[in-house]
Amino acid sequence: MRVLRAVLKQNRHDFGGALDDLAQTLAAQPKHAQALLTQAFVLQVQGRYREARQSCRALPRGVHPLIVVTCLARIESLTGRSHIGYALLKRGLATWTDADNRLRLWAFTNLGEMAQRAGDVAAAERHFRDGLDLGLRDAYLRGAYADLLLDTGRAAEARDFLADDTRIDGLLLRLALAEKRLGNEAAIKHQAVLEARFAASRRRGSVIHRREEARFDLEVLNNPDAALALAQANWRVQREPADARLVLAAALAAEAPDQAQPVLDWLRETGLEDQRIDELVARLTARLAQEKS
């Protein structure tokens, strides 16, 4: 029951509450596989990679090896050893071919993200497509692939890919971004829908859409000050590469490079390797140097 409650809290971005429930479960059952895996995931979202690695390593022998490998490989890829994590996971997928499709989809998604962070767009697309070809409709994977299309200037492909994805806010946001870049009138309608949804979320006191709302303010509404405030609030809760990238981009757009300093410090501490983030860091570092001169 506590593990299920922890998962629900995780989905609401109550990461502290989720970790408390998981800690209580693991105190009684140290080898509870789902509790350890959920704990590893929550710690990764918070950028607490050393603790997350310990949770991955503690997974019991009965857990499928590809789960353990994916858990560990992702952490390696986020802590300055991206080539090690990528090779480890790629080998794991080739070795444990008996893994079910849901697990394989998770592994392919991580491989795609690792390749994209390394700047290998062709490999990233291949891995994302391998995951999509499994036939499981996964919102996270669809969002990751849509971002690759948007990042590589393929807005028309992103629009076509997401044409039916209007129910989930994160996917509708990417659809609206693609439509805006193409100058489609549908972007206005989808922008209004997103504004209404984000307003309703704020009225409920929900914080789960801060990343999406910050990106909406930055890339759709062209309101960098509001985007930066939301991105910083989101950063205080979760610290994934996408969250770091959002703060950096918003700080640049708002002409407030000093506001990105906590993220710059975190990047140095973790050793995260991501070509898209590296470009933003270079621009911010140059801007900070100009301000000091």
How many whole angstroms separate alpha carbon 164 and alpha carbon 287?
A: 41
pLDDT (0 to 100) of residue 213:
97
- The tens digit of pLDDT for each residue in 124-178 reads 999 999 999 999 999 999 999 999 999 999 999 999 999 999 999 999 999 999 9
Residue type, 278: D
Exposed, middle or buried by CB within 10 Å (0-12, 13-18, 19+), for 276?
A: middle
pLDDT at 105: 98
**Amino acid present at 273:** E
Q: What is the pLDDT of residue 266?
A: 97
Cβ(186)–Cβ(160) under 8 Å?
A: no
Give the pLDDT confidence score for residue 126 in this predicted structure.
Answer: 98
The rounded distance, in Å, linking the Cα atoms of 291 and 84 is 38
Q: How confident is the model at residue 288, as a pLDDT?
A: 85
CB-count burial class (<10 Å; 0-12, 13-18, 19+) for 159: buried
pLDDT averages per 10-residue partition of the chain, 293 residues: 90 92 95 96 96 97 96 97 97 96 98 97 98 96 98 98 95 97 94 95 88 97 97 96 98 96 96 97 91 75
pLDDT computed for residue 220 by the predictor: 96
How far apart are the C-alpha atoms of 52 and 55, rounded to whole Å? 5
